[in-house]
Structure 1
Amino acid sequence: MQRIVVDWGTTNIRAHLVDSDGGIAGSRNAPRGVHNCDGNFSDVLREYCGDWQIRWPGIPVYLCGMIGSRTGWVEAPYVGSPARPEALYRGLVPVPGENNVFVVPGVRCITPAGSPDVMRGEESQVLGVIAQGNIQNALVILPGTHSKWVRVRDGRIYDFATFFTGEMYALLHSHSSIGAVLKQEGHNRASFQRGLTESIGLGGLLNQVFTARSRTLCEDVTGQSMSAYLSGILIGSEFIHGQQLFAAEGEILLVGDKQLVTLYQQAAAHFGLEQRALDAAYAVVHGVAKICASADEKESRDFTCSDRPMSPIPQPSS
């Protein structure tokens, strides 16, 4: 079925036009996330999807991510875990005043450590990953501002844990005493690897973070990147504690930004974990398809504005 899928997070909006075969016919990305559009959500949606909506009147639009939070457009209450696709379908929230626009709910859980946790947007990516591979059990890692480790059991999002890795990296760069030595150079693999090694050592995270500054004062760090070194420490700490919460059974599935996934691939190799990287855009598109397919025919008619056929979406040129 043709649809528009919008991954609308805190910082960015990523809109995908999906053809009748489930392929991505077009994508648009921009730094117009929930916190970057002054609350003018309808106008931003028109800016990036309006021509698609005009070309295919009534095409359903599904919004994933922080757009469904309390600070977003319309709050979509969390679905409790273990969460199946049909539970997310039942939790779809229509956007008032919009034609055939729905918000996909997030998921809440109790982590293996016993604390509450939540996600928005990642649930669609996880469901898309397991749908593409017909996977019933897996450990999925989604790097990002708030990195997620998600355990899938029997085709359900069973539980997960969030790591503050990306935001901590940004905060240390911009609002800490070590920020002056954290230049944003291109990725330095050797420095990142050294950070991974340091993360396993004595002292703990707070001590290890400060070494990004002390090494610049006491050692010759010519040719090194303290930014990449710090990244290695933080991601290494995430892997240490992620493995304490979740035992990997077979390969880990990585879904996210290509640059971040590359770092997590290096970290996985460092910790002796098999991994496979998957495309985030296709994951979210297939995840929404999985959610929609979980409804029976009657429910499907309730959530779509008409049954009239639409003209085909042109395929992207190669």
Structure 2
Amino acid sequence: MQRIVVDWGTTNIRAHLIDDDGRALVSRSGECGVQRCDGDYAAVLGEYCSDWQHRWPGIPTYLCGMIGSRTGWQETPYVPCPVEPPALAAGLKPLAGRDNIFFVPGVQCRTPAGTPDVMRGEECQVLGALAISGLDDGVLILPGTHSKWVRVRGGRIVDFATFFTGELFALLHRHSSIGSVLDAESMDAHSFDRGLAQSCGKGGLLHQVFSARSRSLCEDTGDQSMSAYLSGILIGSEFAHALSLFPPAGKLLLVGDRKLGNSYRQAAQHFDLPLQPIDPALAVVRGVKIICDAAGDHSQQKEAAGAESIS
């Protein structure tokens, strides 16, 4: 069955053309996330997918991520945890006036810390990562602007917690006094490791963050990357607190792109944690397929509109 899968987040969009076997034949991406397209969602979707939609009229298109949020194209209600594929399939919502464009619902939970939490798009990556890894139980890490740690039992998303790591890093870089002593957002493994070590020390996160500035003023840091050092502090703090919420019983699944994935793998080594990396693009495509399969006749009828085989 053919379909289009669009992972549409806050800052980026990733569109995938899927063949009969569930493989992504073509993928396109760009910095046209929900906050960067001035609300002209139909035009942006057309920019990335119109040639596919013209070649296969009626081809089902599934949108996941922040595009289905209150600030996106069309708000789609959250599904409460614990969540499994049939519940997400039941929550698929068509775009008003279009019967072949669907929004994948997000997920909400109560974290182990007792606070409410939400996610959109990561639920597809979680389901896909489980299928790729063959696991039904475990903890998954999904780094990003808002990093997620997700606990799964019996193939169901039980709960999760969000960490403000990526956005805080960007804010400190661009809108703080600390930013004046930071270099370009490069990754120096030694400086990053020093930040990881600092994150485990005394004083807490707010004190540790300022050390990026104070070290630059009081020490010779010419051979170091203060940006990487700050990243190590923030990601190290994320690991320390996430592990208190989700003590892993085995290997962690890491669903992240190469740049962030390298940082999180280094952090996992620092905390002596085994990781299995999963490609996020493969995971989201596989996850949407699982949701569509759970939808049964509903998705099959819609996908039948794309009658011509993709070759």
Distance of 2:255 and 2:64 partners within structure 1: 16
2:302 to 297, 301, 305: 305
Distance of 1:150 and 1:93 partners within structure 2: 24
Structure 2, unaligned runs of 5 or more: none
Q: Deviations over 1:8-33 (max 9, x none)?
A: 01111100001111111001101111
Residues 157-176 of structure 1: pairs in structure 2 closer than 5 A: 157-176=157-176
Distance of 2:198 and 2:305 partners within structure 1: 60
In the TM superposition, what is the alpha-carbon distance from 1:309 to its structure 2 partner?
6.4
Q: Which residue of 1 aligns with 2:265?
A: 265
Q: Deviations over 1:117-156 (max 9, x none)?
A: 0000000000111122332101000000000000001100
TM-score, normalization by structure 2 = 0.97
In the TM superposition, what is the alpha-carbon distance from 1:257 to its structure 2 partner?
1.8
Query: CA 1:308–1:161 in structure 2 vs 1: closer, same or farther (change >3 Å)?
Result: closer
Query: CA 1:13–1:207 in structure 2 vs 1: closer, same or farther (change >3 Å)?
Result: same
In the TM superposition, what is the alpha-carbon distance from 1:310 to its structure 2 partner?
2.4
Query: 1:258 corresponds to which letter in structure 2?
Result: R
Structure 1, unaligned runs of 5 or more: none
Query: CA 1:136–1:220 in structure 2 vs 1: closer, same or farther (change >3 Å)?
Result: same
Distance of 1:306 and 1:160 partners within structure 2: 32
Residues 125-136 of structure 1: pairs in structure 2 closer than 5 A: 125-136=125-136
- Residue identity over aligned pairs, in percent, reads 62
Distance of 1:18 and 1:54 partners within structure 2: 15
Query: CA 1:14–1:123 in structure 2 vs 1: closer, same or farther (change >3 Å)?
Result: same
Query: CA 1:308–1:47 in structure 2 vs 1: closer, same or farther (change >3 Å)?
Result: closer
Distance of 1:169 and 1:307 partners within structure 2: 45
Residues 42-57 of structure 1: pairs in structure 2 closer than 5 A: 42-57=42-57
Deviates more, 1:110-119 or 1:32-41: 32-41
Query: 1:307 corresponds to which letter in structure 2?
Result: A
Residues 123-162 of structure 1: pairs in structure 2 closer than 5 A: 123-162=123-162
3-state DSSP class of the match of 1:102? strand
Residues 238-253 of structure 1: pairs in structure 2 closer than 5 A: 238-253=238-253
Q: Which residue of 1 aligns with 2:70?
A: 70
In the TM superposition, what is the alpha-carbon distance from 1:185 to its structure 2 partner?
5.0
3-state DSSP class of the match of 1:29? strand
3-state DSSP class of the match of 2:160? strand
In the TM superposition, what is the alpha-carbon distance from 1:233 to its structure 2 partner?
0.2
Q: Deviations over 1:49-80 (max 9, x none)?
A: 01001111111100000000011111110000
The answer to whether the aligner puts 1:101 opposite 2:101 as a matched pair is: yes
RMSD: 1.2
Q: Deviations over 1:96-120 (max 9, x none)?
A: 1234000000000000011000000
Q: Which residue of 1 aligns with 2:87?
A: 87
In the TM superposition, what is the alpha-carbon distance from 1:247 to its structure 2 partner?
1.0
TM-score, normalization by structure 1 = 0.95
Distance of 1:124 and 1:186 partners within structure 2: 30
3-state DSSP class of the match of 1:162? strand
In the TM superposition, what is the alpha-carbon distance from 1:306 to its structure 2 partner?
6.3
* Matched residue count: 311
3-state DSSP class of the match of 2:295? coil
Residues 270-281 of structure 1: pairs in structure 2 closer than 5 A: 270-281=270-281
Distance of 1:219 and 1:236 partners within structure 2: 22
Distance of 1:202 and 1:151 partners within structure 2: 29
In the TM superposition, what is the alpha-carbon distance from 1:311 to its structure 2 partner?
2.4
Deviates more, 1:204-213 or 1:91-100: 91-100
Q: Which residue of 2 aligns with 1:198?
A: 198
The answer to whether the aligner puts 1:8 opposite 2:8 as a matched pair is: yes
Residues 101-120 of structure 1: pairs in structure 2 closer than 5 A: 101-120=101-120
